[in-house]
Amino acid sequence: MLLTIYPISFTICLVTLIAWFYFKNNPALSKICGIGFFGGLATYLLSIYLADAEISYKLMVLARDLAIIGGVGYFFGMIAKNKLVFFAFLALLYGALQYKFTEVLENTFAENTTNEFPAAGADNSVELLVELKPGFGVKSLEDLAQGYGLNIQEAFAPADGEITDLDDYVTVDIPDHELVATKNIISLLERHPAVEWVEQNDVYQLDLLETIPQKRAPRDLKKFGLNDPNLKDLWGFQEMHVDALYAYLKKNKISPKEKANIFILDTGVDAKHEDIKANYKSLNSRDDKDPMGHGTHCAGIAAAVSNNGIGVASFSQNNEFVTVTSIKVLSARGGGTQQGILKGIIKAADNGAEVISMSLGGRSGDRGQKAYQQAIEYANKKGAIVIAAAGNSNDNAKFYAPANAPGAITVAALDPDLNRAVFSNYIQEVDYGIAAPGVNIYSSIPGDKYASFNGTSMATPYVAGLVGLMKSIRPELTTKQAHDILKKTGAKTGNTKETGRFIQPAKAVKMVVEM
């Protein structure tokens, strides 16, 4: 609602103030315009107050908006006597609102407003990520920066800088008028004595593949021993033999050594969702909302509350094994950047993630993303296993990041016939490939609702949920160990070479227990 009220109230303030100046010699109309202006202003200020953003950002927006309203109002008051000029500029203002500024208003609080995680549209000007050699800092690129008007800033601030080179990265913002020289700037950077590595700060956009569920439900709901009514919509539970997992955990009285925290790096998660909130662990209130719904859907797949009489279920039958946490790295519209995602990986690792689930990415703009590899290595050293979606382009996952990043477990999507989904990228040329259900996947969406979506985005949290369960039983489990277990215990698919093995939770957990 705020995303609508804020731009509308701003527009009302602007229009009524202009009209107020125009009708200043007409007492009746002037009074109506004045009432409209102050009513719009009160609504506008309320929308700013209620916005989910840092106070510094709110003050910046307030100063910007009031300056625009006041300046435009004053200008139109000056030219009000000349109707021809007045209406000509009014037409120009209307065109500006339609062309660009309305979009700016709509995105002011829809995007990532803390500036902690850049999102698509928010930092498109940050073109490059550059790793500096040890002992060099931002000032070492000062001559090059001045020559092209570059804005160079530190890119990452990992808590344990001594175990990674991520704190040696800087961002390079190229001015619009110098974008034609991008290739030359990259060449100069690559030859610079202070520079170790240069890569593009790729921009990504989610695909939300909504679908209509097919009637391929578990045949015998009683065997699961749960009362969640929408088990009937989870065809994957039948094919993954989740009933065998539950039976094994119960019969052998398996308990976790510690709860594994699964971090969902996405559009946010609806922390108040009826089927998530009991398993949810908040890191920051700004991450606990999800305007798009993608992150909430993934969180429900990975860690929905089981046996609570509502919604769906997850691999943790009694909810003792995992929690789920959100870090918002994508905008309300599903856009994001490589730098924002890397910051999310670092933040998750620094806050005790056991599993990092990333249902996101896109085709790589470079021959390789060294920063992703270093971020995943950092997460591994901090005790986390990273899971990434293979991508939805029916293409080779080796061309897509972070799916192609060394050290990530990359997940392909299967359809109900256990064939590679028609959209799923294939994974035979990545380090660690595996498969999970990714077609007609029913899960939570914001507002205590549920829906079915398609995508490797949906397959990924199935693997994250299972790895979280495995990590809770054996916290020291590494990425290689986890993938080896998933591969050895996995089932063949209709295209095993292209998809990797299909996860079988009961067999995987049994192997973990017996390690």
Q: Classify residue 393: in a domain, yes or no.
A: yes
pLDDT of residue 303: 98
Q: What is the DSSP secondary structure assignment for residue 280, as one 8-state letter?
A: B
C-alpha angle 12/17/20, rounded to 5°? 125
Q: Classify residue 434: in a domain, yes or no.
A: yes
The residue ranking higher by pLDDT, 366 or 256, is 256
Please tell me which of 87-91, 153-157, 329-333 the model is most confident about, judged by mean pLDDT: 153-157
Q: Classify residue 114: in a domain, yes or no.
A: no
Residue 297 bears catalytic tag: no
Same domain, 370 and 469: yes
Which of 147, 179, 203 delimits the end of a domain? 203
Q: 63-89 burial string, b = 16+ CB within 10 Å, else e?
A: eebeeebeebbeebbebbeeeeebeeb
Q: Classify residue 176: in a domain, yes or no.
A: yes
- Pick left, alpha or beta for residue 410 (phi over 0 → left; psi -120 to 50 → alpha; otherwise beta): beta
Mean pLDDT score, 136-158: 94
Mean pLDDT score, 141-150: 93
C-alpha angle 117/121/125, rounded to 5°? 85
Same domain, 284 and 405: yes
Catalytic pick among 65, 168, 233, 266: 266
pLDDT of residue 367: 65
Same domain, 443 and 500: yes
Output the average pLDDT for the chain: 89
Q: Predicted confidence band at 275 (pLDDT cuts at 50, 70, 90)?
A: very high
396-407 pLDDT, tens per residue?
999 999 999 999
Mean pLDDT score, 426-449: 96
Please tell me which of 14-23, 163-172, 174-183, 364-373 the model is most confident about, judged by mean pLDDT: 163-172
Same domain, 146 and 39: no
> Is residue 122's pLDDT more than 50?
no
Q: Classify residue 245: in a domain, yes or no.
A: yes
Residue 326 bears catalytic tag: no
Mean pLDDT score, 272-277: 98
pLDDT of residue 94: 76
Same domain, 479 and 368: yes
Mean pLDDT score, 411-435: 96
Q: Classify residue 121: in a domain, yes or no.
A: no
280-298 pLDDT, tens per residue?
999 998 899 999 999 999 9
List the CATH number of the domain containing 293: 3.40.50.200
Residue 192 bears catalytic tag: no
Q: What is the DSSP secondary structure assignment for residue 153, as one 8-state letter?
A: E
Same domain, 334 and 320: yes
Which of 203, 226, 250 delimits the end of a domain? 203
Same domain, 197 and 346: no
Q: Predicted confidence band at 459 (pLDDT cuts at 50, 70, 90)?
A: very high
Q: 150-176 burial string, b = 16+ CB within 10 Å, else e?
A: bebeebbebeeeeebbbbbbbbbbbee
Catalytic pick among 9, 123, 228, 294: 294
The parent domain of residue 10 ranges over 2-108
5-21 pLDDT, tens per residue?
888 888 888 888 888 87
Structurally, the chain folds into a number of domains equal to 3
pLDDT of residue 293: 94
Catalytic pick among 9, 443, 457, 472: 457
Residue of 181, 123, 124 lying closest to 149 (CA atoms): 181
> Is residue 84's pLDDT more than 60?
yes
Q: Classify residue 119: in a domain, yes or no.
A: no
Q: How remote is the C-alpha of 425 from its chain's centroid?
A: 20
pLDDT of residue 103: 59
The residue ranking higher by pLDDT, 219 or 336, is 336
Mean pLDDT score, 307-312: 96
